[in-house]
A and B are shown apart, each in its own frame.
Chain A
Amino acid sequence: GQNIDQPTEMTATEGAIVQINCTYQTSGFNGLFWYQQHAGEAPTFLSYNVLDGLEEKGRFSSFLSRSKGYSYLLLKELQMKDSASYLCAVKRHSNDYKLSFGAGTTVTVRA
């Protein structure tokens, strides 16, 4: 089976940094995705990691350690519009059509 764990909720202040952790135990690994989902809207793609290390994209960065089954999404210079749910998803095999999602982490940014 697939086991993907994320914290349920996090709160941070505008301008601060927040790190959302994701640990996974899956039968196979071929990449990890992070999605952002605002309330009442569709998930939108943020980042993809398949090799160990840090991928930086503006204010958002994503890190992967395959040996530890661990990833994090780092949100810097938080803005109110970053209040959303952040979903971690794992693809198990290169020819696998399925993504296994974690339950998501709801981030609330306060002024």
Chain B
Amino acid sequence: DTAVSQTPKYLVTQMGNDKSIKCEQNLGHDTMYWYKQDSKKFLKIMFSYNNKELIINETVPNRFSPKSPDKAHLNLHINSLELGDSAVYFCASSHQGAITDTQYFGPGTRLTVL
């Protein structure tokens, strides 16, 4: 069973389009995250939700809008895509309050904006 899953795995689209990436975790965790990993492999937090409530909102353009319909899902919608949005987007989840609250990552979505 996949612990943290994302769809789609690859996404190729034109500049200006709107797209969504979906994430689901079956670990029973209460916290979910979106990270962006650029071409230099630097992994940077974008958003975090705890029990469906937005906890972290880093300096991200408001074209990016996360939505958490329930604790097991965190989707990312991106409006008016730009070339610079091309990257790999990782979803992750953890259980806050656990001793290590280790984050477990999904397989990633490689977004290419043409």
Contacts and interface: CB of A to CB of B under 8 A. Distances in A.
Given A31-B100, A43-B90, A48-B100, A101 B44 contact: yes
Interface residues of B, number: 24
B45 interface: yes
B105 A97 contact: no
Contacts of B90: 42-43
A45 B104 contact: yes
- Chain A: interface size category: 20 to 34
B42 A99 contact: no
Contacts of A33: 100, 102-103
Nearest to B45: A98
Given A42-B90, A45-B104, A97 B55 contact: yes
Nearest to A101: B43
B43 to A, nearest CB: 4
A97 B96 contact: yes
A87 interface: yes
Nearest to B110: A40
A48 B106 contact: no
A44 interface: yes
Interface string B45-89: 100101000011000000000000000000000000000000000
Contact of A41 (B31, B56, B96, B107): B107
B11 to A, nearest CB: 15
Contacts of A103: 40-42
Nearest to B102: A45
Interface of A: 31, 33, 37, 40-45, 48, 85, 87, 91, 95, 97-99, 101, 103-104, 106
Given A42-B106, A95-B96, A99-B45, 15 more contacts: A31-B100, A33-B100, A33-B102, A42-B90, A42-B107, A42-B108, A45-B102, A97-B33, A97-B48, A97-B56, A101-B42, A103-B40, A103-B41, A104-B42, A104-B43
